[in-house]
Amino acid sequence: MEAKQVTHLASNVHMAATSSLLLSSLLFLLLLQPSPSTANEGNVLLTGDTLPTNGELSNSKAVFVIQNDCNLVLYNNGKGFASKTYEAGVNCTLSLNDRGQLLIKSSNGTLVWFTPRGPIGKYAAVLRPDGQVGIFGPQLWSTPEVWAMKRVVDPMKFSTAPSDRNLLFSSQLLNEGEKLQTSDYNFMVGKDCEVALAKATGNSLLWGSRTKLKGDHCYVRLNYRGQLAVLNDFNNKLWVSGPPKQEGVHVLVLQINGAAAIYGPERWTTAAL
């Protein structure tokens, strides 16, 4: 009888150990899989994106975080910002809607705080290189997206992402041989005057300006009317993204969904508060 009990106990211990090993293996495999909630570069929040509690935008100058006390805070060496929503909700999240509003919501769906509303469209909240946050939009122009989905942002991916290599603001230039980049895509100005959006690996072309061999020493400029233009050495326009829009600061964002998109003008910023 005792021998049978010992055997039964040993069997149970073996089964428990096996189950534990299988669970550990499964968790390890899941960690190896690409996250379905992969966000944009760590300095950008797009319409439809949501930062969970303790999620943040970050660059080398600042951190913009929705804290676990429900306060939205910008830390940037004394020039910061706070939503002053301390303990106004539980497990709060930060999202950007199609009116260009940053929204803080509590876990029960209660709206805690929001920024001013704009017209319906796609927007980008950008942690700028100067350490301030600005909301740009609506979207004025975009190359085709490779994929699109509503994303709940992984804060770990945000906090470790590169800062400003994916942004071009009004008056800034991309010269011959220079590029914007994310981990998967490059938006570059070729020596043949062609501006191309391509995969970072394999160089598969996703979009091109069709200005190949139409000029020398070409460059790209984003103006204050939301127009992205390819110009040659004589400053002649070889290609432009569209007609001029409302004057103001705009931004070209190279997104991880495979699109380069222009947003503007800037409608709200922490710098003005």
CATH number at residue 66: 2.90.10.10
Please report whether residue 29 resides in a domain.
no
Please report whether residue 77 resides in a domain.
yes
Please report whether residue 93 resides in a domain.
yes
What is the structure's pLDDT at 40?
58
What is the structure's pLDDT at 145?
80
Residues 174 and 227 in one domain: yes
Residues 255 and 146 in one domain: yes
Residues 65 and 181 in one domain: no
* Domain count along the chain: 2
| Per-residue pLDDT in tens (0 to 9) along the chain, 273 residues | 444 444 444 444 344 444 443 334 333 333 333 222 234 578 999 999 999 999 999 998 899 999 999 999 999 988 899 999 999 999 999 999 999 999 999 999 999 999 999 999 999 999 999 999 999 999 999 998 875 444 454 544 444 334 579 999 999 999 999 999 998 999 999 999 999 999 998 878 999 999 999 999 999 999 999 999 999 999 999 999 999 999 999 999 999 889 999 999 999 999 976
Residues 119 and 166 in one domain: no
- Of 135, 153, 177, which one is at a domain's C-terminal end? 135
Residues 118 and 158 in one domain: no
Residues 157 and 263 in one domain: yes
Please report whether residue 115 resides in a domain.
yes
Residues 147 and 263 in one domain: yes
Residues 147 and 250 in one domain: yes
Residues 114 and 164 in one domain: no
Residues 84 and 149 in one domain: no
Q: Which domain holds residue 245?
A: 141-268
N-term to C-term CA, the chain: 79
Residues 130 and 225 in one domain: no
Please report whether residue 263 resides in a domain.
yes
Please report whether residue 36 resides in a domain.
no
- Of 119, 135, 151, which one is at a domain's C-terminal end? 135
Please report whether residue 23 resides in a domain.
no
pTM of the predicted model over 0.75: yes
What is the structure's pLDDT at 147?
56
Residues 178 and 261 in one domain: yes
Please report whether residue 10 resides in a domain.
no
